[in-house]
Amino acid sequence: MLADQGGVCPICGAPDPQHVDHDHRTGRVRGILCFNCNGGLGQFRDDPVFLANAITYLKGTTWRRVLIHPGVYRISFSTRGRPPSRSS
């Protein structure tokens, strides 16, 4: 299996991964991962929705303060790289 993966972690490419990853529901082995990637999948409970949400978050969601009146701010959720909307 490790040879089929090219001797690296299939997620991050780290050399010499040593942690057998498996589906906790079925017990089926999926691959051999590095310590960090194997732990990361476990922290996200192997849930693709959680992982997709994490990817969206890392791609640039952020909170920012918007002045709506002198000394009064509203906290607004926006995405980096996009101009703020007029309602923000």
DSSP string, 6-49: TTB-TTT--BS--EEEE-TTT--EEEEE-HHHHHHHHHTTT-HH
Tell me the three state secondary structure of residue 88.
coil
For the segment 45-56, the average pLDDT, to the nearest whole number, is: 91
58 domain residue, yes or no = no
Give every CB contact of residue 51 below 8 A, 6+ residues apart in sequence: 41, 44
Q: How many domains, in total, are found in the chain?
A: 1
85 domain residue, yes or no = no
55 domain residue, yes or no = no
Binning pLDDT at 50, 70 and 90, where does residue 61 land?
A: low
Range of the structural domain that residue 1 is part of: 1-46
Full-model pTM: 0.67
4 domain residue, yes or no = yes
CB neighbours of residue 32 within 10 Å? 21
39 domain residue, yes or no = yes
Tell me the three state secondary structure of residue 3.
coil
Q: What CATH number should be reported for the domain holding residue 5?
A: 3.40.1800.10
Binning pLDDT at 50, 70 and 90, where does residue 77 land?
A: confident
